[in-house]
Chain A
Amino acid sequence: MTQYSDLEFLKLSKWQKAGYKCARFFTGIPTALLNLLKRIWGGIKGAGLAVKNEAADIWSTFVNGDWKTKLSFLVMGFGNLARGQILRGLLFLLFEVVFIGYMVLAGGYWLSMLPSLGKVGPTETYDEVLDIYTTTYNDNSFKILLYGVLTMFFIIAFIYTWRQNVKQNKLAEKILASGKPLKSGKDDLKSLVDDQFHKTLLALPMTGILVFTVLPIVFMILVAFTNYDGTHNGYSNNLFTWVGLDNFNTMLNWNVKSGGGTQSYAATFGEVLTWTLIWAFFATFTNYFLGMFVAMAINKKGIKFKKVWRTVLVLTIAIPQFISLLYVSKMFAKNGILNGFLMSMGWIQQALPFWDDPTWARITVILINVWIGIPYLMLVATGILMNIPADLYESARIDGANPWQQYTKITLPYMLFVTGPYLLTSFTGNMNNFNVIYLLTGGAPTNPAASGAAGAVGYTDLLITWLFKITTGAESQYYLASVVGILVFVVVALISLIVYNLLPSIKNEEDFQ
């Protein structure tokens, strides 16, 4: 498309400007994707180069090192011990001993079983004396996969530590050659609360994240390539095994019919994804603009009892969501308070189908989300509005700008600029907003065409509640859940990438000033 210069752009009318910007945005996507691919390729090349350099460095350390260094390649920490760094040496040695012990006793077994995920399932034997069947449990696919992944983590950690051990030797030789003393164990301990304090501080949080987030995520990504479900739980009924890309085929192929419903998984996935995006869009922007509006109303000059209004709204944040959401969901029920009130006033004859009609349910969910979200946005907006310099408004007023112009020319650009990243996280957060949907509707009303596609899929189900239903449903198709999870990740990552790469306000932080 034609690209205008700044001057030509300024000459365009308002609508042409908007259209031009929009067109630029979409024509920019291929370039952005290409750049991304280039960067990934660059990253791979860089990594290859880094590995080559590391290997060369290791080799030169070995060739040029003395006998202590050379022996350290086999016995970790030997160099440290021989040069008097007892603490470091002992730690290295201990790690090596533990690692070898683990690999011999358990790790080797888990690794060797990883390609098959177990060979012998539970077997039943008939005991003639007692006249009963006894079941012997043999391999456990779940544990094999879990400990297999853990062992791989351990091996990576070992390689890293071994590399550190080699580096230390090189460094020690250099320091000794220059005639300086090496750090003692006491110095090492001291540095843990000083120069190396960040390692001490990060040890606990990172261990938690590694064990309770990274490990499960790696595990669940791998599950997407197996047939792990309720009938293949890997232990007490059937083992599960690798199935390659079959599950992705099931989920994304239009020709594969789902279990109970009439449509394919792909169609269901498309519908749920569409609704998820619509929901996230409306949930984010209704809250954003209405919250900003309420904040401006409360903060307007001359409005009294500011604190009272604010406190009333903040009450919704304070009260645990499960109480307010569950209660509100019952208020809107067919026989709930709201319908009862409207009928007793004679305004309606029949109960309104808040939760029974797909469109009604979707709109109601978005409306109630406004009730949940406005107070929070009100707080955010209040904080930011206070930061807008008052003289901006002053001079605008002198120039004769009316309140609407002041809003669109000062308040809104400032807000959008400051909260750009927040809007993005709030959009992705809403895509995964489990609580609001699950506690309000539980996904209902049910979509008959999609139902049976792993749990009763409803019209208000988001991908995340669908995922939950799949795992807790009768068949517990964990493999499908993890495919959905991976797809959610892909969608969220793509949106974030595009927005981050194309939104000017995020790239050029100084633009607004």
Chain B
Amino acid sequence: MSENRLLDRSSDAPVKRHMGLKASRTLANTSIYVLLVVISVVWLIPFICIVLQSFRVESTWQESYVIPKQWGLDNYRALFKTDFPRWYTNTFIAALFTAILQTIIVLCMSYTLSRFRFKMRKGLMRFMLILSMFPGMLTMIILYRVLSDLGLTQANALPGLILVYVASSGMGYYVSKGFFDTIPKSLDEAARVDGATRFQVLKKIILPLSKPIVIYTVLTAFMGPWGDFVFARYVSFGTSSGMNVAVGLYNWLNKDQIAKSYTMFCAGGVLVAIPVTVLFMCLQKYYVEGVTGGAVKG
């Protein structure tokens, strides 16, 4: 009898438990699906709205409904009668140069701090940490005055802007240093033993291995200028031809402008977002690698 019961339990119970587990897992998964769908909707709504409103023809005012009553490309056409193409070119050129120069500088810095052991290394890193605790906003005042003395503001803002974006970029070495730290040092040492100079080690061994971090750095450097608002506004100082898209579009939402340019802002936003987003989505893999690596390293 007792044996029988034992047998019963051993044959029956696991099945029951399995069923219960399965049911609770389906329940859990269903609720997670619901949650994910809700999240996706919340996350996408603003972007759907902005696209829809950019096609609205009947009114340029910020209406409280989303779906246009009359569809058309009027807003996009209107964009090209403003300075928008100029802002777009400005931003694109700034992004391109920043991407190239900033990548070179960041890689030089991070590679050096990761691979070389020299006397000032620790002190240098601590010094940069302390520097980064000062609000960067503070330096804008003087940089603006210096740039304006050099004639690099307002209509000529572009070179000045690139200069400032690039110049201090060496401070953002953390992520790529974390990457270089993961490449085994024995590779370098083996090459050094074979008589390679430090430069040759960098060129022939490290760089070919560094594709992910190079792409990550280029990508983030390229995206930076598209979103820069503060310094670009300072430097262009009300001169339309020197603005970038962020400053130009921001001004369209001013109290006295918004009535006639709200939908144009939406259209401009869509045009700015498309190339950046496409590029980002294509290179997403590298971005994710960089972000996760960087956060773990701190």
Give chain A interface residues in 305-344, CB to chain B under 8 Å. Answer: 309, 311-324, 326-328, 330-331, 333, 335-337, 339-341, 343-344
A219 to B141, CA, bound (A): 10
Min distance, Cβ B153 to any Cβ of chain A, angstroms: 15
Known: A212-B139, A435-B229. A337 touches B170 (CB 8 A): no
- Give complex CA distance A339, B277 in Å: 29
A279 within 8 Å of B by Cβ? no
CB distance from B239 to the nearest CB of A (A): 16
Q: Which residues of A contact B39 (CB under 8 A)?
A: 294, 309, 312-313
Q: Which of B146, B169, B223 has the most CB of A within 10 A?
A: B146
In the complex, A318 Cα to B146 Cα: how many Å?
33
Are A337's CB and B66's CB within 8 A? yes
List chain A residues, Cβ under 8 A from B104: 204
0/1 string, B276-296, CB within 8 A of A gives 1:
110011001001100111011
Question: Does B108 contact A204, Cβ atoms closer than 8 Å?
Answer: yes
| CA A488 to CA B280, docked complex, whole Å | 34
| CB of A193 closer than 8 Å to a CB of B | yes
Q: Known: A197-B116, A209-B170, A321-B227. Contact between A371 and B42, CB under 8 A?
A: yes
Contact of B169 with A419 in the complex, beta carbons under 8 Å:
no
CB distance from A147 to the nearest CB of B (A): 11
Q: Please, what's the 1-or-0 string for B117-131, where 1 marks a CB less than 8 Å from any CB in chain A?
A: 010000000001011
Question: Does A194 interact with chain B (Cβ within 8 Å)?
Answer: yes
Q: Judge whether A493 and B133 touch: CB under 8 Å.
A: yes
Decide if A319 touches B32 in the complex (CB within 8 Å).
no
User: How many Å lie between the Cα of A212 and that of B62 in the bound state?
Assistant: 41
Q: A467 to B65, Cβ gap below 8 A?
A: no
Of B11-19, B74-82, B209-217, B265-273, the one with at least 4 CB within 8 A of chain A: B265-273
Contact A493 B130 (CB under 8 A): yes
Stretch at the interface among A91-99, A168-176, A376-384: A376-384
Give complex CA distance A217, B168 in Å: 12
Q: With both chains docked as a complex, state the minimum distance between the C-beta of B190 and any C-beta of chain A, in angstroms.
A: 16
Please name the residue on chain A nearest to B170 by beta carbon: A205
Contact A322 B168 (CB under 8 A): no
The 10 closest A-B pairs by CB, nearest first: A340-B64, A383-B292, A421-B298, A205-B170, A216-B139, A212-B167, A318-B280, A197-B198, A208-B167, A193-B199
Q: A327, B269: Cβ atoms under 8 Å?
A: yes
A327-B46, A432-B135 given; 14 more Cβ-contact pairs under 8 Å? A209-B128, A213-B167, A217-B138, A294-B39, A302-B29, A313-B40, A318-B280, A320-B223, A326-B249, A331-B49, A376-B291, A435-B227, A481-B138, A489-B135
A195 within 8 A of B: yes
For the complex formed, measure the closest distance between the CB of B197 and the CB atoms of chain A, giving whole angstroms.
Answer: 4
Partner of A489, one of B40, B112, B134, B277: B134
B positions within 8 Å CB-CB of A: 25, 28-29, 32-33, 35-36, 39-40, 42-44, 46-47, 49-50, 62-66, 104-106, 108-109, 111-112, 116, 118, 128, 130-131, 133-143, 145-146, 163-164, 166-171, 197-199, 202, 223, 226-227, 229-230, 246, 249-250, 253, 262, 265-266, 269, 272-273, 276-277, 280-281, 284, 287-288, 291-293, 295-296, 298
Q: Which residues of A in the span 111-168 have a Cβ within 8 Å of any Cβ on B?
A: 142, 146
Query: When A193-B197, A208-B105, A209-B167 are in contact, do A468 and B281 touch as well, CB less than 8 Å?
Result: no
Q: Which residues of chain A have a CB within 8 Å of any CB of chain B?
A: 142, 146, 190, 193-195, 197-198, 201-202, 204-206, 208-209, 211-217, 219-220, 294, 297-298, 300, 302-303, 309, 311-324, 326-328, 330-331, 333, 335-337, 339-341, 343-344, 371, 375-376, 379-380, 382-384, 418-422, 424-425, 428, 432, 434-435, 438-439, 463-464, 467-468, 471, 478, 481-482, 485, 488-489, 492-493, 496
**Judging by beta carbons under 8 Å apart, are A467 and B43 in contact?**
no
Q: Decide: B139 and A213 in contact? CB cutoff 8 A.
A: yes
B56 to chain A, nearest CB (A): 12
**A contacts with B: majority SS:** helix
Instruction: Give the chain A neighbours of B35 by CB distance below 8 A.
Output: 297
- State which of B36, B128, B169 has its C-beta within 8 Å of the C-beta of A297: B36
Q: Are the CB atoms of B137 and A464 closer together than 8 Å? A: yes
User: CA of A278 to CA of B171 in the docked complex: distance in angstroms?
Assistant: 28
Which residue of chain B is the closest to A207 with respect to CB atoms? B167
CA distance A418 to B253 in the complex (A): 42
Check B295 against A380 for contact (C-beta < 8 Å): yes
Residues of B within 8 A of A302 (CB): 25, 29
**Contacting pair A315 B47 (CB below 8 A):** yes
Q: How far is the CA of A216 from the CA of B226 in the complex (A)?
A: 25
